[in-house]
Structure 1
């Protein structure tokens, strides 16, 4: 376990793979930590140098007080990549991680060579919708939003498996202040204009059972980037890397191969 000193707080991160490997950065969703990507790690090709991290307010990272801005979350990823020597990287972001990927790609093309935008959008929901969810969580904790969240996130079939309860527990272990801080960042983000200006290799991934960022929303965002690719994973919800890790890893590997990286 490694902790990066960001100034007023610390971020937990992990690096796997050879020092001279192809740099790939993974950013996870709201209410999860870097373990979100565990199911696909053994399925990815050798020769990748992988950076995963817990964004502020999640996992083993510190939880700064107050609401966060998307600019701050993008800045965290930017600073962490610079500290760890990651540049010209493929940035894989899921949900809020995909927003971070879009923001960083627009800001630092020297750090981001290509993006994989998974189960995300240029604008996710409305400010009023997020404020309602924030009020629910502030009043009753993450337990108050658990059923609705898990229904949006996972297919009915997966929720009946023995692996499902662990994801409920992971979500519930997120600090309320961290969840609220990041939810506020999502509420205030609209990247439609900046994402439509991106000119880099991009892959959009969606799940047919995703109730948070439905396939049409993901496709609309992906289509903003000329020459982008899109893949729909059938039978999976908001976290297809959990429900369909083999297909997710295959699609990601195919994208890396299409860029001549593996």
Structure 2
């Protein structure tokens, strides 16, 4: 296990692939850790430097007191890339990881040369929705919302497979303050203007059965970015890299080839 001091906290980081290869950085969704990407990494081209990390409040990273702002998550990612001496990466962000990628790409184009914005939007939900969720968690804990979250995460064909229990456990066993802190960050985030101003290559990915960030919301964001394109993986929910890793890896590989990253 490797920890990196970044923005005043310790972040859990894992690197796979070729240390001298072109970097691809993965940023996870709310209440998942870096294992989110386990199934797709073996399917990607050889020779890449593959970097994953647990954001604050998640996995093995520090869980500072909340609430958090998106600025905190972006500053964490920026400091992490600086610490690892990463430039010109392809940043793959899913859900709140996609919010992080949008904002960081606008701030630091020297760090990110292309982005995959997966199951995300320039604005995700509204403050009232997030406030209601936070109140439910404070009253009943993460277990009280877990089944509803699994319904949003997975499409009908995957929803009742045995491995869903592992994803539910990942969610419910995370620090409550980490979940609440990131909920606050998402609730306040509105990247409509900065995302529309992006000029780097962008691929949008969504699942047709995504109940957390519907595909039409991702598509609406992608349409505002010059030259960006969108792919929808049929039948999958909010975590298509889990449900259809082969398809997800193929789309990512094609994008890496299009952008000259492999």
TM-score (norm 2): 0.98
| 1:44-103 Cα distance to aligned partner (Å, 9 max, x none) | 110110110000000000100120000010000000000011110000000000000001
In structure 2, C-alpha distance between the alignment counterparts of 1:7 and 1:85, rounded to whole Å: 15
| 1:93-127 Cα distance to aligned partner (Å, 9 max, x none) | 00000000001001000001000000000000000
**5 Å matches for 1:23-102?**
23-102=23-102
| 1:189-212 Cα distance to aligned partner (Å, 9 max, x none) | 000000000001000001001001
Task: Indicate conservation of the 8 Å contact 2:7/2:76, yes or no.
Answer: no
Task: Indicate conservation of the 8 Å contact 2:7/2:79, yes or no.
Answer: no
Aligned to 1:113: 113
Aligned to 2:162: 162
In structure 1, C-alpha distance between the alignment counterparts of 2:241 and 2:204, rounded to whole Å: 13
Aligned to 1:222: 222
Task: Indicate conservation of the 8 Å contact 2:73/2:100, yes or no.
Answer: yes
Q: Secondary structure at the match of 2:206?
A: strand
Aligned to 1:132: 132
Gap runs ≥5 in structure 2:
none
Q: Does 1:150 align with 2:150?
A: yes
Matched positions, count: 262
Task: Indicate conservation of the 8 Å contact 2:121/2:218, yes or no.
Answer: yes
Alpha-carbon distance, 1:20 to partner:
1.8
Aligned to 1:141: 141
Pairwise CA RMSD: 0.8
In structure 2, C-alpha distance between the alignment counterparts of 1:233 and 1:13, rounded to whole Å: 28
Deviates more, 1:61-70 or 1:10-19: 10-19
Gap runs ≥5 in structure 1:
none
Q: Secondary structure at the match of 1:71?
A: helix
In structure 1, C-alpha distance between the alignment counterparts of 2:214 and 2:261, rounded to whole Å: 30
Deviates more, 1:14-23 or 1:101-110: 14-23
Alpha-carbon distance, 1:7 to partner:
5.5
Aligned to 1:195: 195
In structure 1, C-alpha distance between the alignment counterparts of 2:111 and 2:56, rounded to whole Å: 20
Alpha-carbon distance, 1:156 to partner:
2.0
Aligned to 1:16: 16
Distance 1:7-1:255 versus aligned 2 partners, 3 A rule:
closer
TM-score (norm 1): 0.98
Q: Secondary structure at the match of 2:198?
A: coil
Distance 1:261-1:7 versus aligned 2 partners, 3 A rule:
closer
